[in-house]
Amino acid sequence: METRPDSVKRRRQLRQKNSLRIICPNCGNDHSFFEVADGVILTSRYTQNRDGSFSQDGDESQIMGEVRFFCAECNEDLTAHHQRFVEMLF
């Protein structure tokens, strides 16, 4: 069994008191996360410039499948917290 230094345990306990934050139960990460979406259709729109280069005008995406949510530090599956993540996107 691996033990954590006291300072790491204290920081983790303080973070857990703020119930609004998503915290990885595996590694304690509370700042870096990523989503993986299955069945995505991405439509990007471009304008060609006079010199032949292209500039992106925008993009749209449609997610047709499942969306999963992960800790970016240890890759723990945090999909159970995905709805909270979506609610807090601004």
Whether 83 maps to a domain, the answer reads yes
Whether 1 maps to a domain, the answer reads no
Q: CA geometry: angle at 80 spanning 84 and 88, to 5°? A: 10
Residue 40's nearest CA partner among 71, 66, 72 is: 66
Q: What pLDDT, on the 0 to 100 scale, is given for residue 20?
A: 82
Whether 71 maps to a domain, the answer reads yes
The structural domain count of the chain equals: 1
**pLDDT > 70? residue 17:** no
State pLDDT tens for residues 29-68: 999 999 999 999 999 999 999 999 999 999 999 999 999 9
Provide, rounded to the nearest whole percent, the portion of the chain with pLDDT above 90.
76
Domain extent for 72: 6-87
Whether 64 maps to a domain, the answer reads yes
Q: Kindly indicate the confidence band of residue 90, based on its pLDDT and cuts at 50, 70 and 90.
A: confident
Q: Are 39 and 61 in contact (CB under 8 A)?
A: no
Q: What pLDDT, on the 0 to 100 scale, is given for residue 81?
A: 95
